[in-house]
């Protein structure tokens, strides 16, 4: 069989509502041309994020009904802890209400002002949490990452030579940890190879700096290693996952991605003393160490999701269905990041609308137009999201201006995706008419979430 | 204060739809298990607990309607319809203008403290609560207790032992100046005082005093609906008012509130920060997105916001609250009948055993309440919580234990979870523990975390003398 189908059928549906272009124009204006500010009911196909938007399985819902809501020592906690230990291989597990809380606790415990944290590419909340404690987030992507249309297998890799240079210059005293994000979300959902992880791990070890993996999409990354990296084709994904984490000293995880959960996250470490300090901070802002700000039922659902995500039939379907969208768009000449990432298709807005300069936010302009055209909500990952750096007074263009069409797990069908492709092609056909934007309201941190815009010349 | 119930019998305004099995253990099991848990009930596994009275936080049974609401969860990252339902509900019930959802109450405390407190500030409040005080301190503020003296006397029958002493508050304002006081932190149904309510008269007076000085009043609204019930029952002029009305009036004397939905709100997870000023809201949104999540979900699944919106509406139902308080009172009155010393009057969410009077032979340094909670577990498999010297922590300057006047064991009742028979078993277990109190020895602390030590501290029995 050539056709790869979903290894599941639908058990429960959620109606979505069609709208007219006139309605959407009014709604977009009310939302200040920021799709984050749209009520979800005004969206037809929501590709804003794959975070927390997955369809859970009947198994996960069944487990959810068994949630033990005891404040301390709930059986749901022990099930969760055991699953994380088995899948990731870390002894100490700290539950948090979601990924950014795990990051905050990690950085709150390990960083001091002036420190540097290298990563292949930091994501928005990671960067914000590092900057919040007065440290600096440093992106060290590999050279291929800068060429959106270059089809290389592991464009999420870190630049190992740059890491080595950074550590040689500043030393372990200023660099308390090295991070690698798998897959590399800001860089197009591109995977990191086992070879690169191993090289990064060796360098970090040589400088006695712990390596932490931002593990949000660890299973998708493992699938790419299995299918793209020589020598791994016959290794079960479960073992690839263990080998990836064996190279690290800990990880942060948003269970809202590769655990199919609608809420939840965790932090892992091998260091018992560090774990103890992290738990002290956890109690203060999250919750008691056996629930960490989650309902017992959510711990159950995550435990089920972490097992389900390792199913290779699912991962094959996931990679193929994302590539389906990317391939159709690429065939029609739409500029995008290639090859397709695991969880999203990234339109290259700078080439899509070359007449809009980066500081007129081509990504935002394109995302808004896709919404007006078809009710599709994508997400700008570009100058709006990353245009501010505390080290520089002026706004600067981001490395890339992308529109991410993130695909929630197990939620949309092929016909939904055909509609998305069609709408994108419609916008592409009249791309010269796209207009740039200016920001009329700029929040001081994570501005992309609540900023407001107007069209230039409006 | 009469302890006779208003009616001879009350019944739950619900029937049971889903059950969760619990298991019994032997005394030998429990002796081993409590030793493994370092004589700290927080460190027991829940499956080794028979009746779990550790906390009423997040342990409620949700209704079929709340579960149905869970199935209507809109898990969109931005603009979930459940968020708008929650905002409408909070506006409707409490009257606050702006709502920032948070994953639970301490998320709201974290944001509020960072939002309003500057280093050197002073925050007066009606008795400390563990996480609230610590957030105030980490933001650079200092907590000052301005609760009435009766709150520290477990035998005082004062009907509103949660009240703020207006003279103490005026003195704090005179000493530090209004500009050093960002807000008064006013807790409804004061937890550490034994679940004791604040009167409407007192709320009104505190609000008026603060207004005169330009000081904000921030409510800890966690158990405000239970507080409203006591006002209805005890305060002249409120007997015929609807609970929902009284709740609105309570909130009207404040400028915002932190809320843990895990108590009054009948949910297992969730909370919010409510504010009336737009500038506060704008800044709170920015803090929320860093620490909690985007301001339209704040670290909660959509379904959890929906369950909280429905739960809050169920909580202002008069019959619900009569049964809720009625059950607590039933437990308390039966304990009193068995001559067990408890904090009076009986509070809203818990009965507090007076460990100082139950174990008068133990000095406070031998942790009488911690000891009693451990003994109660060994006796019966019932899990309670210490609220005494362990919870109070250490003085940051002197390094000595803070020594609260009260040394209590809290028997906290989850909402809609346990039956009258469970309560009867609890009374028997406490009475049996009382009967052998002469043989009970104290504890010494062998592991002490730096902050909020009660959660994870470990103990060993003191050897006999």
Q: Does B292 touch chain A (CB under 8 A)?
A: yes
State the pLDDT at residue A53. Answer: 96
Q: Does B294 touch chain A (CB under 8 A)?
A: yes
- Whether the predicted pLDDT of A195 surpasses 70: yes
SS3 assignment for B169-214: HHHHHHHHCHHHCCEEEEECCECCCCCECCCHHHHHHHHHHHHHHC
**Which range has the worst mean pLDDT, A65-79, B128-142, B406-420?**
B128-142
pLDDT tens sequence across B53-101: 999 999 999 999 999 999 999 999 999 999 999 999 999 999 999 999 9
For residue B72, give every residue at least 6 positions away whose Cβ sits within 8 Å of its Cβ, in sequence order, or none: B82, B303, B306
Give the span between the Cα atoms of B5 and B326, in whole angstroms: 8
Contact A126, A118 (CB under 8 A): no
Q: Kindly state the average pLDDT of the residues B128-142.
A: 90
Q: Does A39 touch chain B (CB under 8 A)?
A: yes
Locus of tokens 């002796």 = B31
* A166: β partners: none
State the pLDDT at residue B5. Answer: 46
Burial class (CB in 10 A: 0-12, 13-18, 19+), B212: exposed
**Which range has the worst mean pLDDT, A135-144, A183-192, A329-338?**
A183-192
Q: Kindly state the average pLDDT of the residues B254-279.
A: 97
* B218: β partners: B185, B256
State the pLDDT at residue B75. Answer: 95
State the pLDDT at residue B9. Answer: 66
Q: Which candidate, B28, B19, B60, places its Cα nearest to that of B315?
A: B60
State the pLDDT at residue A188. Answer: 84
Question: Of these residues, B223, B263, B324, B356, which one is catalytic?
Answer: B263
Q: Kindly state the average pLDDT of the residues A204-229.
A: 97
- Whether the predicted pLDDT of B327 surpasses 70: yes
Helix (H), strand (E) at residue A369? helix A362-374
State the pLDDT at residue B128. Answer: 85
Is B262 assigned a catalytic role? no
Q: Kindly state the average pLDDT of the residues B194-210.
A: 97
Contact A415, A357 (CB under 8 A): no
Q: Does A150 touch chain B (CB under 8 A)?
A: no
For residue A348, give every residue at least 6 positions away whose Cβ sits within 8 Å of its Cβ, in sequence order, or none: A148, A149, A335, A336, A337, A400, A401, A402
Q: Taking CA atoms, what residue in A is nearest to B67? A: A65
State the pLDDT at residue B441. Answer: 95
Using pLDDT thresholds of 50, 70 and 90, give the confidence band for residue B2. Answer: very low
Q: Does B449 touch chain A (CB under 8 A)?
A: yes
**Which range has the worst mean pLDDT, A271-275, A454-458, B267-271?**
A454-458
Phi-psi region of B227 (alpha: psi -120 to 50; beta: other; left: phi over 0): alpha
Question: Of these residues, B41, B59, B130, B188, which one is catalytic?
Answer: B130
Residue percentage of chain A with pLDDT more than 90: 89
State the pLDDT at residue B8. Answer: 53
Phi-psi region of A440 (alpha: psi -120 to 50; beta: other; left: phi over 0): alpha
Q: Kindly state the average pLDDT of the residues A63-86.
A: 96
Q: Kindly state the average pLDDT of the residues A433-454.
A: 93
State the pLDDT at residue A261. Answer: 97
The predicted model scores a pTM of 0.91
Question: Of these residues, B128, B230, B281, B454, which one is catalytic?
Answer: B454
Residue percentage of chain B with pLDDT more than 90: 90
State the pLDDT at residue A185. Answer: 85
Q: Which candidate, B319, B368, B326, B371, places its Cα nearest to that of B351?
A: B326
Q: Is B43 in contact with A283 (Cβ distance < 8 A)?
A: no
Q: Is A283 in contact with B300 (Cβ distance < 8 A)?
A: no
State the pLDDT at residue B130. Answer: 84
Kindly give the residue spans of alpha helices, DSSP state H, lying in A44-193.
Answer: 58-65, 75-88, 99-110, 124-132, 160-174
ipTM value for the complex: 0.87
Q: Kindly state the average pLDDT of the residues A352-367.
A: 98
Give the span between the Cα atoms of A422 and A402, in whole angstroms: 19
Contact B182, B117 (CB under 8 A): yes
State the pLDDT at residue B1. Answer: 42
CA B240 to chain centre: 27
Contact A439, A452 (CB under 8 A): yes
Q: Is B47 in contact with A75 (Cβ distance < 8 A)?
A: yes
Contact B76, A43 (CB under 8 A): yes
Phi-psi region of B129 (alpha: psi -120 to 50; beta: other; left: phi over 0): beta
Query: In chain A, what residues touch B292 (CB-CB under 8 Å)?
Result: 97, 101
Q: Kindly state the average pLDDT of the residues A201-224.
A: 97
Give the span between the Cα atoms of A447 and B261, in whole angstroms: 29
Instruction: Provide the shortest C-alpha distance from residue A35 to chain B (in Å).
Output: 8
Using pLDDT thresholds of 50, 70 and 90, give the confidence band for residue B464. Answer: low
Question: Of these residues, B29, B64, B77, B118, which one is catalytic?
Answer: B77
Is B77 assigned a catalytic role? yes
CA B431 to chain centre: 25
Question: What is B390-439 written as a DSSP string?
Answer: HHH-B-TTT-SBP--S--EEEEE--TTT--HHHHHHHHHHHHHHHHTGGG
Q: Kindly state the average pLDDT of the residues A391-395.
A: 85
State the pLDDT at residue A291. Answer: 94
Secondary structure tally for chain A: helices H, strands E? 16, 14
- Whether the predicted pLDDT of B45 surpasses 60: yes
**Which range has the worst mean pLDDT, A392-396, A418-422, B420-424?**
A392-396
What mean pLDDT, rounded, does chain A reach?
95
Query: In chain A, what residues touch B269 (CB-CB under 8 Å)?
Result: 293-295, 298
Give the span between the Cα atoms of A223 and A201, in whole angstroms: 20
State the pLDDT at residue A393. Answer: 83
Q: Kindly state the average pLDDT of the residues B294-309.
A: 96
Three-state DSSP class for residue A27: helix
For residue A104, give every residue at least 6 positions away whose Cβ sits within 8 Å of its Cβ, in sequence order, or none: A129, A132, A285, B290, B291
- Whether the predicted pLDDT of B4 surpasses 50: no
Three-state DSSP class for residue B37: coil
Query: In chain B, what residues touch A68 (CB-CB under 8 Å)?
Result: 20, 46-47
What mean pLDDT, rounded, does chain B reach?
94
CA dihedral B445, B450, B452, B458 (to 10 degrees): -30
């Amino acid at each position: 069989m050539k056709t790869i189908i979903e290894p599941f059928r639908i058990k429960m549906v959620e109606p979505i509502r069609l709208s007219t272009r006139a309605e959407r124009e009014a709604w977009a204006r009310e939302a200040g041309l920021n799709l984050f500010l749209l009520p979800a009911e005004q969206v037809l196909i929501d590709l804003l994020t794959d975070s927390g938007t997955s369809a859970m399985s009947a198994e996960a819902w069944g487990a959810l009904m068994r949630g033990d809501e005891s404040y301390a020592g709930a059986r749901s906690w022990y099930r969760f802890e055991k699953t994380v230990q088995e899948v990731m291989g870390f002894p100490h597990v700290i539950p948090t209400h979601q990924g950014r809380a795990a990051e905050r606790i990690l950085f709150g415990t390990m960083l001091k002002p002036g420190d540097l944290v290298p990563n292949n590419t930091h994501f928005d909340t990671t960067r914000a949490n590092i900057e919040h404690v007065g440290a600096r987030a440093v992106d060290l992507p590999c050279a291929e990452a800068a060429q959106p249309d270059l089809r290389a297998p592991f464009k999420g890799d870190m630049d190992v030579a740059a890491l080595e240079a950074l550590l040689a210059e500043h030393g372990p005293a200023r660099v308390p940890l090295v991070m690698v994000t798998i897959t590399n979300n800001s860089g197009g959902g591109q995977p990191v190879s086992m070879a690169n992880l191993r090289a990064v791990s060796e360098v970090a070890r040589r400088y006695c700096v712990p390596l932490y993996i931002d593990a949000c999409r660890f299973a998708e990354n493992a699938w790419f290693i299995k299918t793209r990296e020589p020598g791994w084709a016959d290794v079960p994904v479960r073992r690839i996952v263990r080998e990836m984490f064996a190279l690290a000293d800990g990880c942060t995880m948003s269970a809202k991605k590769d655990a199919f959960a609608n809420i939840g996250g965790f932090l892992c470490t091998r260091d018992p003393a560090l774990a103890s300090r992290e738990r002290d901070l956890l109690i203060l802002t999250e919750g008691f160490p056996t629930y960490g700000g989650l309902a017992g039922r959510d711990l159950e659902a995550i435990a089920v999701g972490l097992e389900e995500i390792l199913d290779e039939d699912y991962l094959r379907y996931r990679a193929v269905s994302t590539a389906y969208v990317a391939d159709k768009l690429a065939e029609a000449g739409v500029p995008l990041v290639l090859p397709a990432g695991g969880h999203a298709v990234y339109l290259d807005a700078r080439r899509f609308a070359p007449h809009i300069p980066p500081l007129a936010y081509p990504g935002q302009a394109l995302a808004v137009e896709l919404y007006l055209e078809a009710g599709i909500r994508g997400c700008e990952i570009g100058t709006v999201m990353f245009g501010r750096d505390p080290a520089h007074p002026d706004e600067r263009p981001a490395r890339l201006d992308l529109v991410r069409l993130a695909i929630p797990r197990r939620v949309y069908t092929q016909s939904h995706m055909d509609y998305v492709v069609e709408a994108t092609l419609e916008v592409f056909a009249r791309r010269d008419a796209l207009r740039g934007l200016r920001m009329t309201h700029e929040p001081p941190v994570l501005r992309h979430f609540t900023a407001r815009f107007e069209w230039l010349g409006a | 204060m009469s302890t006779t119930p208003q009616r001879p019998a009350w019944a739950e305004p619900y029937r049971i739809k889903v059950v969760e099995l619990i298991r019994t253990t032997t005394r030998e099991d429990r002796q081993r298990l409590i030793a493994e848990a370092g004589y700290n009930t927080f460190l027991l596994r829940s499956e080794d607990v028979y009746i779990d009275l550790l906390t009423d936080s997040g342990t409620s049974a949700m209704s079929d309607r709340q579960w149905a609401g869970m199935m209507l969860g809109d898990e969109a990252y931005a603009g979930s319809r459940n968020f708008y339902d929650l905002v409408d509900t909070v506006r409707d019930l409490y009257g606050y203008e702006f709502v920032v959802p948070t994953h639970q109450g301490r998320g709201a405390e974290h944001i509020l403290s960072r939002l309003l407190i500057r280093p050197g500030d002073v925050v007066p409040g009606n008795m400390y609560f563990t996480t609230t005080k610590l957030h105030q301190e980490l933001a650079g503020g200092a907590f000052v207790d301005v609760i009435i003296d009766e709150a520290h006397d477990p035998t005082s029958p004062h009907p509103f032992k949660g009240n703020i002493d207006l003279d103490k508050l005026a003195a704090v304002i005179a000493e530090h100046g209004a500009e050093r006081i960002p807000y008064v932190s006013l807790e409804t149904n004061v937890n550490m005082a034994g679940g004791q309510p604040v009167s409407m008269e007192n709320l009104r007076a505190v609000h008026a005093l603060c207004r005169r000085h330009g000081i904000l009043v921030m409510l800890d609204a966690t158990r405000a609906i239970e507080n409203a019930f006591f006002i209805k029952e005890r305060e002249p002029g409120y007997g015929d008012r609807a609970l929902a009305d009284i709740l609105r009036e309570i909130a009207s004397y404040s400028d915002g509130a932190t809320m843990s939905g895990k108590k009054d709100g009948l949910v297992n997870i969730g909370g919010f920060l409510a504010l009336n000023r737009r500038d506060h809201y704008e800044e709170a949104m920015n803090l929320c997105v860093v620490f909690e999540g985007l301001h339209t979900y704040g670290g909660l699944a959509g379904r959890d916001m929906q369950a909280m919106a429905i739960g809050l509406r169920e909580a202002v139902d008069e019959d619900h609250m009569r049964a809720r308080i009625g059950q607590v009172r039933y437990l308390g009155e039966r304990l009193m009948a068995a001559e067990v010393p408890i904090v009076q009057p009986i509070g809203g969410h818990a009965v507090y055993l007076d460990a100082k009077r139950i174990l008068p032979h133990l000095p406070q340094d031998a942790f009488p309440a911690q000891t009693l909670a451990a003994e109660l577990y060994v006796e019966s498999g019932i899990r309670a919580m210490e609220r005494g010297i362990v919870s109070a922590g250490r003085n940051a300057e002197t390094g000595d234990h803070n020594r609260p006047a009260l040394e209590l064991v809290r028997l906290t009742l989850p909402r809609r979870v346990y039956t009258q028979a469970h309560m009867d078993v609890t009374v028997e277990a406490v009475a049996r523990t009382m009967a052998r109190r002469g043989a009970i020895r104290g504890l010494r602390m062998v592991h002490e975390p730096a902050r909020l030590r009660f959660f994870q501290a470990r103990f060993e029995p003191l050897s006999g003398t």
